[in-house]
Amino acid sequence: MAPGIRFKDPWGEQRLFFGRLLAAIIIVLLLVGILVARLVHLQVINHVHFADLSQDNRIRIEPVPPTRGLIYDRNGIVLAENLPAYRLEMIPEQVEDMPATLQALAQLNLIDADEIDRTLALARRQRRFEPVTLNFRMDDEQVATFAVRRQHFPGVDIRARLRRHYPFAGATAHTIGYVGGLSAQDLERLDRANYAGTAQVGKVGVERAYEDLLHGRVGYRQVVVNARGRALQYLEVSDDAAPSANGVAPGNPRRAGRAPVPGQDIVLGLDIRLQLAAQEAMQGWRGAVVAIDPNSGDILAMISTPAFDPNRFSEGLSRRDYQALLNDPDNPLFDRALRGTYPPGSTIKPQMALAFLHHNIVRPGDRRFCPGHFRLPGSSHRFRDWRPQGHGNVDLIEAMAQSCDVYFYANGNELGIDRMHEFMTAIGLGQVTGVDILGERPGLVPSREWKRGAFRRREDQAWFPGETVIAAIGQGYMNSTALQLAHSTAILAARGARMQPRLVVASTDPLNGALLEIERTKISRLELRDEHHWDVIRDSMVAVTRGQRGTARNSMQGTSYVVAGKTGTAQVFTIGQDEVYDEDVIDERLRDHALFVAFAPADAPEISIAVIVENGSSGARVAAPIARRIMDRYFEDREL
């Protein structure tokens, strides 16, 4: 071994050891410092934030849907109410496999299998913590079936809710409308935040048009939940301060959150007794009835038949049942009062006669001979009167009472389509009335300008004199809705005063119950050159119901009130020059439409009415008696 070589350096090892120890202590202290700093950051600086997050794991915010407002008729009778019902609801964020869960529920007959795809699409479009309604009305058997299997369906539960109910069912189906399940399209047009927890929304009629008033404002509540998200109890707080705006006394416990604001109740001008009378009178017929107060524009009755039960929609109509309604040949879902357009036929002769007087085409006493047909100068085509042998020499009142077509053919030709279009539009035809529910169709009063835009081929755009002739008796291109006919007749009744038709007349403040009247909408008055012409037209319409040869004389005999009316029969298809219409051999759906318009009492009108019966063949035999039954009910009720 070489001298002077050292194998061990105790001092060097000690320095190395202490150096490493010091480094380890520094690292440990640094890590402890970081840990302490982090704890300070979490527990002190961000204490409130993380306490809220922790609380959120224990407490769930649940939306509380508001109570939907009720709908009343003019006499305070409930037309739409809320009844308790059990619903099956699902919270998507608490369901691991929604398709499998829905399939399992369908196998238990708790939901409709046809609705699974729609439910999945709706769940994807709304926030995952918002409940999705799977069954709007569970019966006792379904409640029991789910209750014993509840543990197999996390995120699905039964809730006690209010469902919409319509006591008069089909009588108000098209007018009041109905509520149905929220769809993806509904969510796009609505305020989602205000519809959290809401499963249904107004689809048509008053329910849709006044959705903002009826719905109210959503509230919320805090719910203590377990690890699986199941509600354990509602969180309560104590009000130790002064009484709050909702009337809670100091120290009294209440549920934490915000109370929902209920929707406003609304009042209609509709008279349900008159509505039921109209429905009964139209039993077995397809068509529409509209009755209006000419002094206010309030709609007293509006019926479309056949109808449907709106309660089926509020209870959750299956796709299968909905398709059955769509495929029904009588089309009960179609609102014939608002959307059905028909040739008005002779029911517009009072308006046409007023145009003749206003433009000095005729004077009240002027006579015209009716041989049973009319020819344009230089033409061999005969425009036939409904009475083949003709009516002889008639003046305006006689022509109206007997519904002489030749009188209106000849004078309509002299009036011309341009002046005809201008006047008939001013008196409420060929345009929407502006009624306060959606879906109204405008009808049509033709004109040269309209025809140029309606046809592509140049040869089809020309206006022919014969088209003016048939327009003068409400045929050809001319068409109207029942609402427009009732509105135009109301203008006649009110001697030119034009009130926009409306269904809703008032609402109530949900907080204090105060009645809030909705202001009537007046349209500029129709002015005539001679105010006496209003009396002439009224007298001519009275002659229809009381004249010796009036077409509605038989239907209106014995009334305690005087009716000013006009019958109408509108062709469904064109009859050739040498053909004869025979309703006994023709297909039922090709028969003429039957129409009648009227206002009463003639001297001080209170009601204006229009009746359209599809394929009813005769306005005098079918539509006028229906109107008589409705008006009888109106005046009977008024005398009570």
CA gap 608, 427 in Å, rounded: 14
Q: What is the DSSP annotation of 72-139?
A: E-TTS-EEEEEEEEEEEEE-GGG-S-HHHHHHHHHHTTSS-GGGHHHHHHHHHHS-TTS-EEEESS--
Which residues are 217's β-sheet partners? 261
Which helix (H) or strand (E) element contains residue 506? strand 504-508
Residue-level pLDDT at 225: 67
pLDDT of residue 155: 85
Weakest-pLDDT range from 338-342, 447-451, 457-461, 482-486: 457-461
- What does the pLDDT read at residue 536? 97
**Are residues 77 and 99 in contact, defined by beta-carbon separation less than 8 angstroms?**
no
Alpha-carbon distance 146 to 157, whole Å? 9
| DSSP structural state of residue 41 | I
Overall average pLDDT of the 266-276 stretch? 96
Confidence of residue 22 (pLDDT cuts 50, 70, 90): confident
Higher pLDDT: 515 or 485? It is 485
Name the residue type at position 216.
G
The mean per-residue pLDDT over the stretch 83-97 comes to 85
Predicted confidence (pLDDT) at residue 6 exceeds the cutoff of 60: no
Which residue do the tokens 């689809």 mark?
A: 203
Is the predicted pLDDT of residue 13 greater than 70, yes or no?
yes
Give the pLDDT mean for 9-36. 84
| Distances from the Cα of 544 to the Cα of 128, 169, 487, 601, angstroms | 66, 36, 20, 14
Q: Which CATH class is domain 275-639?
A: alpha beta
Integer angstrom CA distances of residue 62 from 131, 238, 395, 531, 601: 9, 20, 75, 65, 57
Residues composing the chain? 640
Mean pLDDT of 37-64: 74
How much is the average pLDDT of 613-624? 92
Cβ 352 vs Cβ 420: under 8 Å: yes
- The answer to whether 346 is a known catalytic residue is yes
Give one DSSP letter per residue of 322-364, joined into a string: HHHHHT-TT-TTS-TTTT--B--GGGGHHHHHHHHHHTTS--T
| Confidence tier at 19 by pLDDT (50, 70, 90) | confident
Q: Is residue 477 predicted with pLDDT exceeding 50? A: yes
Nearest residue to 396 (alpha-carbon basis) of 357, 348, 344, 347: 357
61-240+251-263: CATH class:
alpha beta
SS3 3: coil
In the chain, what are the domain boundaries?
A: 61-240+251-263, 275-639
The predicted-structure confidence for 573-598, as pLDDT tens digits, reads as follows 666 555 555 566 677 778 889 999 99
- Name which of 138-152, 201-215, 392-406 the model is least confident about: 138-152
Q: Which residues of 114-137 are buried (b: 16+ CB within 10 A; e: fewer)?
A: ebbeebeebbeebeeebbbbbbbb
CA 298 to chain centre: 17
When comparing pLDDT for 98 and 418, which is higher?
418
Distance CA 433, CA 483 (A): 8
The secondary structure of residue 261, as a DSSP letter, is: B
Q: What is the pLDDT of residues 514-530, one digit of tens each?
A: 889 988 888 889 999 99
With beta carbons less than 8 A apart as the criterion, state whether 636 and 563 touch: no
| pLDDT given for residue 18 in this prediction | 80
| Residue that has been written with the tokens 């298809």 in this structure | 573
What's the mean pLDDT when you consider all of the chain? 87
- pLDDT over threshold 80, residue 469: yes
pTM of the entire structure?
Answer: 0.82
Question: What does DSSP assign to residue 65?
Answer: P
pLDDT in tens, 106-115: 888 888 887 8
pLDDT in tens, 177-211: 999 888 878 888 888 888 887 888 999 999 999 99
Catalytic residue selected from 314, 346, 507, 618? 346
Q: What is the mean pLDDT of residues 91-112?
A: 86
Is residue 400 within 8 A of residue 544, CB to CB? The reply is: yes
pLDDT, residue 416, reads 95
pLDDT band at 495 (very low <50, low <70, confident <90, very high): very high
